[in-house]
Amino acid sequence: MEVILKEDVNKLGHRGDVVKVADGYGRNYLLPGKLAIVANAANKAVIEQMKGSAIRKLAKEKVVAEDLATKLSSVELSFERKVGDNDHLFGSVTSSDIAHQLEEKGFTIDRRKISLEEPLKTIGEFHVPIKLHRDVTSHVKVTVSGDRPVETQTASA
């Protein structure tokens, strides 16, 4: 199935690209999610007109993303999680946690733009990349600290 992408799709293509995808992927994910339209003659003509406006829109988005990247580079997030032996966390810090804390600080970032390979499961300082635009990536400093549970002592009478 050939589709025309209306939005950038990770590992598939950019807005305006005509790509060949599996029928199920196109029908069940791209089309209902309004990420693509079916590539037929009429839509190809429409997409050519859209490409011109997309280039202008992309330039504006890049400027906004670069501005946001400079603001995000100074942001530091800290998380406190319960830890066990060997400073191993009970639970983890995920991209959703990072997005939620960024939102509390006034930055609305989609969690899917936070490029966390896997959740943070150890104590330490991490620089997490955030892909704001296809050409703009910012890094946020994330500090994960431990909160050891207080061990209760039994009183002997």
| pLDDT given at position 152 | 44
Q: Are residues 80 and 142 in the same domain?
A: yes
Q: Are residues 79 and 125 in the same domain?
A: yes
At 71, phi and psi to the nearest 5? -70, -40
pLDDT-derived band at 148 (thresholds 50, 70, 90) equals low
pTM of the model: 0.63
Q: Are residues 78 and 141 in the same domain?
A: yes
DSSP alpha helix (H) spans, 4-117: 23-25, 41-72, 95-104
Tens of pLDDT, residues 8-59: 888 898 878 889 999 999 999 999 988 898 988 888 777 777 777 778 888 8
- % pLDDT > 90, the chain: 15
| pLDDT given at position 151 | 53
| pLDDT given at position 157 | 44
Nearest-angstrom CA–CA distance, 80 and 31? 41
Residue 128 forms part of a structural domain: yes
Looking at the 3D structure of the chain, how many domains does it have? Answer: 2
Query: What does DSSP say about strands 76-82 and 136-147: parallel, antiparallel, or unpaired?
Result: parallel
* Residue 76's CATH number: 3.10.430.100
Residue 16 forms part of a structural domain: yes
16 three-class SS? coil
The predicted model gives 113-134 an average pLDDT of 87
Whether the per-residue pLDDT at 149 is higher than 50: the answer is yes
